[in-house]
Structure formats: C-alpha cells, structure tokens
Amino acid sequence: MHRPTSVCAIALSATLLVSGWWMVSAGAPNSYAFVNLAALIAGLVLAFAIARVPAKAALPAPAVLGALALASGPSIDGVHRWVALGGLSIHATMLAGPCFAVAFQRIGGWPASLAAVAFATVTAFQPDFGMALALTCGIAVALVVQRDLPTLAAFACAALATVWTAWRGDPLSAVPFVEGVVQRMASEHSAAALISLALLALATAAPALLREGRQAGGLAFAGYSVGLVGASLIGPFPAPLVGYGAAPILGYCLALGLLIRPPSATER
C-alpha cells in the first residue's frame, strides 16, 4: 500500500480498535466489536483488489445499490437504505459513497455530474439525510478544487436532496452504539472515548493530506467523511467508524483502494 494511504489505514485501524474497546466496556455485545474488526480485515483485502479498478466504475455504484435497496431491500418504518449481504443488512449508499467521492473528483465533467444526480435522487427517495449531506459536502470540496458547470450542477442537486430529506425528517429512532455515539463519547470523558474521538478526527482528515496526484480525490473523500460525521451529530444517523456498522468501514477501505493508484492519463 502506498505510504500516505498506509497512514489512513493505520488511523482507521486504531480508531476501530479503541472504539471497539470502548463499546464493549460500555455494555455493547462483543459481536459489535468483532463485526467491525472483520469488516476492517475484509475491507483492507478488498482495497488492494479495487486498486486495479478504473475510478469510473465507482460512479454508478451508489445509485445502483441504493435503487436495489429501494426495490428489494429490508424496510424499517418506510425507510429503504439497506441491502442483504449474507446475514447482515448493509447500508447500501454508505458502502459505495466514499468511492463515489473519489471517483467524482477524478472523472469530473457531465458523466460524474449525472451520476451525482442519480445518487442524490436515491437519497431523496430512501430518504437519507445523512448520505445526502455527505454527498453535498464531498461535492462542495470538489467544487472548490474544480470550478465548472457540471460540478456546480451536481452540488445544486445534492444540496436540494439534503434540504428535501431534512424537511421530511427521519422516522427512525436512535440505536445504541450505532447512532448518538459521538455525543455519548464526548459526555463520558473516559480515556477510551476521548482517544476514539481523536482518532476519528484523524481518520476523517487523513485523506486530505495525500499528495502525488491523490490530493484532490483525498480532499473530496475527507469532505464526504466530514458530512457523514456531521449528520451523526445532527440526528439519528450512524456514527461512522466509532459506532457499530460494517458499511462505513468497508466504504472507507474501498476508497483507500482507489487512492492507492494515482490518477491515470484520462483522470484528473
């Protein structure tokens, strides 16, 4: 693995180890920590595989998986965000979202913009304010780097989806150790909780420090991650990396896989 992306992987691993310790000590089932660690191992293996895949292949993934969740995935109180994978229900767009953020920045133009519109439309129908906000933040960073009409159009659609999902509200109640995790950690002042929060901040920001042609994609990924963490602070949305859930862990690793390889001649 490329050295700067190795720093991201180390930050991710440390976050999961310490937050897993915190979860178990706070009363969560041991299986929560084991599932997160299993997702980390599987994700790091998949990262090397996806490094060989062109970035453009990641563009339709969130819309396709999100549409699959809408059509045939499990539903809770009219919310359709998950696809069945083995014995787990995986948050579809959270799995594919990080790769999309990197691919959007690398591909650019109207193909990336149309894929973002499809992604935003899926979040509006699910509905999923957290993913809509993450998408908006990722594209906002891309817009700062690349000021063009397709990126602006994508940002406008993502922002509209964010406003729409915020207005609709979220009918789901917070699940312990999945949502409200950052707030609980901040209120506890235990060593494990505070270290977990510091490591979460590091893992979120680390992709923005990438260089050698990877900076723009890393910045978009970091912007997306900031939106995801922000959503978990605003409402009952999953806390990435420090809470129970395989999808954000796998998604983070897959995005690192795209970032292992610098942009090709047809990418930016």
Please tell me whether residue 238 adopts helix, strand or coil conformation: strand
| pLDDT-derived band at 249, boundaries 50, 70, 90 | very high
pLDDT recorded at residue 267 = 59
Two structure tokens written together for 223? 């912007």
Contact 260, 47 (CB under 8 A): yes
Question: What are the pLDDT digits (tens) for 142-151?
Answer: 999 888 999 9
Q: Is residue 83 helix, strand or coil?
A: strand
Q: The whole model's pTM is what?
A: 0.94
Determine contact, residues 71/82, Cβ cutoff 8 Å.
Answer: no
Residues 96-116 pLDDT 10s: 999 999 999 999 999 999 999
Q: Is the pLDDT score of 130 beyond 90?
A: yes
**What letter represents residue 224's amino acid?**
Y
State how far the alpha carbon of 28 is from the alpha carbons of 34, 174, 237, in Å: 11, 15, 18
Give bridge partners of residue 179 from the DSSP assignment. Answer: 238
Q: What is the pLDDT of residue 202?
A: 95
Cα 106 from Cα 95, distance rounded (Å): 19
pLDDT recorded at residue 27: 94
Model confidence over 186-234: pLDDT tens digits?
998 789 999 999 999 999 999 988 876 678 889 999 999 999 999 999 9
Q: Max alpha carbon distance in the chain (Å)?
A: 51
Structure confidence by residue, pLDDT tens digits, 54-101: 889 999 999 999 999 999 888 888 888 999 877 778 999 999 999 999
Give the pLDDT mean for 133-139: 97
d(CA 135, CA 143): 12
Q: What is the pLDDT of residue 72?
A: 86
pLDDT at 181 over 70: yes
Q: Is residue 265 over pLDDT 70?
A: no
Q: Give the helix ranges, DSSP H, for the chain.
A: 3-25, 30-50, 61-72, 92-107, 109-125, 129-145, 149-168, 181-188, 191-205, 215-234, 246-260
Distances from the Cα of 3 to the Cαs of 8, 35, 107, 126, 224, in angstroms?
Answer: 9, 27, 24, 38, 22
pLDDT of residue 213: 63
Average pLDDT, the chain: 91
Q: Are strands 82-85 and 88-91 parallel, antiparallel or unpaired?
A: antiparallel
Residue 189 in tokens: 């002042």
The reported pLDDT for the residue numbered 4 is 67
Position 1 scores a pLDDT of 55
pLDDT band at residue 163, thresholds of 50, 70 and 90? very high
